[in-house]
């Protein structure tokens, strides 16, 4: 699995933004990726030293969709995996020259 296949996208939320002060960055990753693969992918893509990787398997939510003249339809969002990566002190991650994590 290549580095670009492991890291899907950065998570830009209020909580993930506050964690950047402690050098922690949050990414959506491939569900089959291991902590070692995530570490190597982040180091290769962003050229930083990773000190720790924590992962969380997030379960998809059940949603109901109301329809006219028919019973409500129930759907389910996909399960996904989140990785919280801690980088070495003094280093930071920037995406395309813009630091989305510190705004």
Total domains, the chain: 1
Q: Which residues contact 101 (CB under 8 A, 6 or more apart)?
A: 10, 12, 16, 17, 20, 25, 92, 93, 94
pTM summary value: 0.84
| pLDDT(102) > 70 | no
pLDDT in tens, 47-68: 999 999 999 999 999 998 877 7
Residue 69 lies in a domain: yes
Residue 96 lies in a domain: no
> Long-range pairs for 56-64 at CB < 8 Å and ≥24 separation?
56/81, 56/82, 56/83, 56/84, 57/31, 57/81, 58/82
Residue 61 lies in a domain: yes
| pLDDT(42) > 80 | yes
In which domain, by residue range, is 63 found? Answer: 3-87
Query: Average pLDDT of 81-96?
Result: 90
Residue 36 lies in a domain: yes
Residue 12 lies in a domain: yes
Residue 93 lies in a domain: no
CATH of the domain at 58: 3.30.70.330
Residue 97 banded pLDDT, cuts 50, 70, 90: low
| pLDDT(103) > 60 | no
């Amino acid at each position: 699995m290549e580095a670009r296949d492991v890291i899907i996208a950065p998570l830009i939320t209020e909580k993930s933004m506050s964690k950047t002060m402690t050098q922690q960055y949050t990414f959506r990753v491939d569900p089959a990726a291991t902590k070692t693969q995530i570490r190597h992918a982040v180091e290769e893509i962003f050229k930083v030293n990773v000190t720790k990787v924590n992962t969380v398997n997030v379960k998809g939510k059940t949603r109901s969709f109301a329809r006219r003249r028919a019973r409500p339809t129930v759907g389910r969002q996909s399960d996904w995996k989140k990785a919280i990566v801690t980088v070495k002190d003094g280093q930071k991650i920037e995406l395309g020259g813009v630091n989305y994590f510190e705004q």
